[in-house]
């Protein structure tokens, strides 16, 4: 019987895991305390010898680090599939995996609702200054520092979405209910975007930014998207606009973001992600118009169970069909 490795703890889908691999594969838990121990046990005769596929969760980083090129190079030749649990997969060197003939899958769709509702909360809080109001209440100040003219309704305002994938589209649906006007920018027009969701191609990006009350960021972190939301893009937003980020911290130039908060160009921010997690720039904590969360996007039992099952299903489908459904886009290029 072939062997698959669970690299990162399963929390919600133990029964489903047993059912998916029953009579199909031996499920081996990764219990190495360090990267050195992990690499040693990948060798012939080690406890991970002969594995053909890996289920991976980011929590494994605490013990063995990210799946960078050296780690991928050390995987035995028998490994052909890495089933990552998560929509973002920037902790895996996909180019190195692809060069070795390894396929990488992720879990799009499973995270859409939870991450979109996180973005919606950040959007509402940033416009209405709810996080600031709660801090005042907890400090016994009631509404002492509340400035009514600084808070805004959502109805009738324009939400610009940078990256209309599954999460961006779900946020669009939620925001449209207020209603907000929804516009978006992708490299190409999204085939599944509803008519009320207005597309702005690259040559009209500046126009989209100038008209946005809120810019919500939903692009994956890659070399070409690091610092995508830079000083230039931020300054092209109208004065008083809000930025929401539930994607990855490094997609935004944090120094430029802070400068725009300092001089009042931005009316507020809602952030769930940061460049050097779990570290948060202490300067951000000083802004009363910043709503900050500790990467809570998918932190629900419902979504995490869906993610575990989807990642495990990709691994099972590799064993039974030769490939899973959720290959990351780099494999399709």
CA distance 293 to 144: 24
A 10 A CB-CB count for 11 gives: 12
Q: Is there a catalytic annotation at residue 277?
A: yes
Q: Which residue bears the tokens 């509340």?
A: 146
- The H or E element containing residue 170 is helix 166-176
Backbone angles phi, psi at 152, to 5 degrees: -140, 145
Q: Which is the catalytic residue, given 19, 134, 262, 277?
A: 277
Q: Is there a catalytic annotation at residue 19?
A: no
What's the CA angle centered on 256, arms 251 and 261, to 5 degrees?
A: 115
Q: Which is the catalytic residue, given 235, 236, 295, 331?
A: 295
Conformation bin of residue 140: beta by default, left when phi > 0, alpha when psi is -120 to 50: left
Q: Show the beta-strand stretches assigned E in 112-200.
A: 158-162, 181-185, 197-199
Go through 142-165 and write b for each residue having 16 or more CB atoms within 10 A of its CB, e for each that does not. Answer: eeeeeeeeebbebeebbbbbbbbb
CA distance 3 to 192: 39
CA-based end-to-end distance of the chain: 33
Q: Is there a catalytic annotation at residue 295?
A: yes
Q: Which is the catalytic residue, given 157, 248, 310, 316?
A: 248
Q: Show the beta-strand stretches assigned E in the chain.
A: 2-7, 25-29, 51-56, 81-84, 103-105, 158-162, 181-185, 197-199, 214-217, 241-245, 266-271, 290-292
Q: Are strands 214-217 and 197-199 parallel, antiparallel or unpaired?
A: unpaired
Backbone angles phi, psi at 185, to 5 degrees: -130, 125
Q: How many helices (H) and strands (E) does the chain have?
A: 12, 12
Catalytic annotation, residues? 248, 277, 295
């Amino acid at each position: 019987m072939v062997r698959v490795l669970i690299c990162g703890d399963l929390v919600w889908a133990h029964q489903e895991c047993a059912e998916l691999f029953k009579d199909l594969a031996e499920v081996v838990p990764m219990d190495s305390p360090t990267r050195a121990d992990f690499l040693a046990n990948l060798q012939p005769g080690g406890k991970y010898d002969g594995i053909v596929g890996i289920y991976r969760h980011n929590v494994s980083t605490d013990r063995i680090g990210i799946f960078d090129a050296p780690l991928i190079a050390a995987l035995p030749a028998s490994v052909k599939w890495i089933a990552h649990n998560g929509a973002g997969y920037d902790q895996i060197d996909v180019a190195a995996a692809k060069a070795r003939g390894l396929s990488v899958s992720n879990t799009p769709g499973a995270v859409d609702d939870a991450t979109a509702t996180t973005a919606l909360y950040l959007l509402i809080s940033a416009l209405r200054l709810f996080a600031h109001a709660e801090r005042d209440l907890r400090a016994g100040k009631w509404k002492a520092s509340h400035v009514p003219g600084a808070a805004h309704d959502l109805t009738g305002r324009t939400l610009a979405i940078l990256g209309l994938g599954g999460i961006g589209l779900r946020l669009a649906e939620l925001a449209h209910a207020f209603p907000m006007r929804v516009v978006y920018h992708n490299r190409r027009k999204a085939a599944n975007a509803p008519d009320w969701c207005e597309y702005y191609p690259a040559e009209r990006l500046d126009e989209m930014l100038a008209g946005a009350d809120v810019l919500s960021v939903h692009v994956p972190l890659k070399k070409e998207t690091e610092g995508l939301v830079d000083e230039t893009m931020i300054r092209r937003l109208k004065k008083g606009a809000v930025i929401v980020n539930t994607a990855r911290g490094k997609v935004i130039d944090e120094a430029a973001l802070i400068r725009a908060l300092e001089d009042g160009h931005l009316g507020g921010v809602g952030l769930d992600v940061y460049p050097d997690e779990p570290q948060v720039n202490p300067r951000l904590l000083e802004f009363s118009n910043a709503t900050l969360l500790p990467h809570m996007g998918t932190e629900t039992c419902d979504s995490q169970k869906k993610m575990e099952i989807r990642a495990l299903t990709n691994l099972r489908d590799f064993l039974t069909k030769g490939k899973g459904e959720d290959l990351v886009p780099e494999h399709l290029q």
